[in-house]
């Protein structure tokens, strides 16, 4: 993660600091018996942010003969998400490994950071179920999402 983001508290973060941004509507069915969005839905919002990095204007981004799987997810809850409304998900890449991508993400509602997460996805060969390296074309594509 960049030094500037490392030194910021969630309250100081802005959606504008992320190279990829997504939006999701909060659904009534996302609300639990306590009147706020259930914690499991946060992970679903983060998935939207990650998946949008893998899609481009021409359709789904494809890594030849592979798919991405989540290997690690660390999620910090900062504040409630309420209904009705929408959330914005900021996503950036912190590290490109041999076959893995580490992402830093934040969820915002009404410009307030309500959660942060670090997610590691790994490129996997669907037949062998083993990790597969990212090639130079893929690295070039993902470089546009590196947090600066």
- For the ranges 16-25, 48-57, 120-129, the lowest mean pLDDT is seen at 48-57
At residue 141, the pLDDT reads 87
The pLDDT of residue 59 is above 70:
no
Q: Where are the beta strands (DSSP E) in the chain?
A: 20-26, 55-56, 59-60, 67-77, 85-96, 100-109, 112-124
Higher pLDDT, 136 or 87: 87
């Amino acid at each position: 993660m960049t030094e500037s983001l490392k030194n910021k508290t969630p309250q100081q973060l802005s959606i504008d600091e992320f190279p990829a941004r997504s939006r999701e509507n909060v659904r009534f069915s996302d609300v639990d018996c306590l009147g706020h969005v259930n914690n499991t839905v946060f992970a679903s919002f983060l998935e939207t942010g990650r998946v949008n990095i893998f899609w481009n204007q021409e359709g789904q981004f494809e890594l030849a003969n592979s798919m991405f799987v989540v290997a690690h997810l660390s999620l910090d809850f900062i504040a409630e998400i309420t209904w009705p409304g929408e959330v914005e998900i900021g996503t950036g890449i912190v590290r490109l490994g041999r076959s893995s991508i580490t992402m830093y993400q934040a969820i915002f509602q009404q410009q307030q950071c309500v959660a942060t997460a670090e997610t590691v996805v790994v490129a996997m060969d669907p037949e062998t179920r083993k990790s597969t390296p990212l090639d130079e074309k893929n690295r070039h594509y993902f470089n546009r999402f590196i947090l600066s």
